[in-house]
Structure 1
Amino acid sequence: MILAAVAVFYIWDNVANKGLYTAQIKRSWV
């Protein structure tokens, strides 16, 4: 269920924000 929520957030982020949030998360992980 958590993975589903992450997938929905990831898709929404790419559609609505052009990937801004996921880009910041990836930078914080690396």
Structure 2
Amino acid sequence: MLRTAVEVVNQDGAAVLRMTVLTMVRCRTAPGG
């Protein structure tokens, strides 16, 4: 079955948001900022 564009966008958006949050936390907790 083909996924709808909305489902793809929602999944990609969630993945990007999760990656962005992880990157922000990693940078914030890294020594020397």
Instruction: Give the Å deviation of 1:2.
Output: 0.2
Count of paired positions: 18
Structure 2: which 5+ runs fail to align? 1-13
TM-score (norm 2): 0.48
Task: Provide the identity percentage.
Answer: 6
Q: Distance in 2 between matches of 1:17 and 1:2?
A: 22
1:14 aligns with 2:27: yes
Pick the structure with more helix per residue. Answer: 1
Structure 1: which 5+ runs fail to align? 19-30
Kindly report structure 1 stretches of 4+ aligned residues shifted beyond 4 Å.
Answer: none
